[in-house]
Amino acid sequence: PLTFKTWLWGIRRQVSLLLAEGHQEARDYTIGMIWDESTLVVERRNREHATNAIMTQLAVLSVLSKDGAREFKKSIKKLNDDG
């Protein structure tokens, strides 16, 4: 069961996450803004982790085959493409 203490600790953890991500004023955010901003941070970080995992897999594949190397190069280009 959720107690006030665990709820408050959860908010504190979200503020800590925001501070670590450069939100210098996170201590002054409203509860709603803390929830919204921390959700955005977690979503962005999860996408970064997924991209890193995929790129690692493609890098290994690129060593094993020419097709893998082409896919790796194509993915790198797509990640660095401005459009």
* The pLDDT of residue 82: 63
CA angle 41/7/5 to nearest 5° reads: 135
CA trace torsion 17, 20, 21, 27 (10° rounding): 70
Residue keyed to tokens 């999860």: 46
pLDDT over 90 percentage in the chain? 93
Taking only the tens place, the pLDDT of each residue in 12-50 is 999 999 999 999 999 999 999 999 999 999 999 999 999
Specify the pTM. Answer: 0.80
Q: Above 60 in pLDDT, residue 83?
A: no
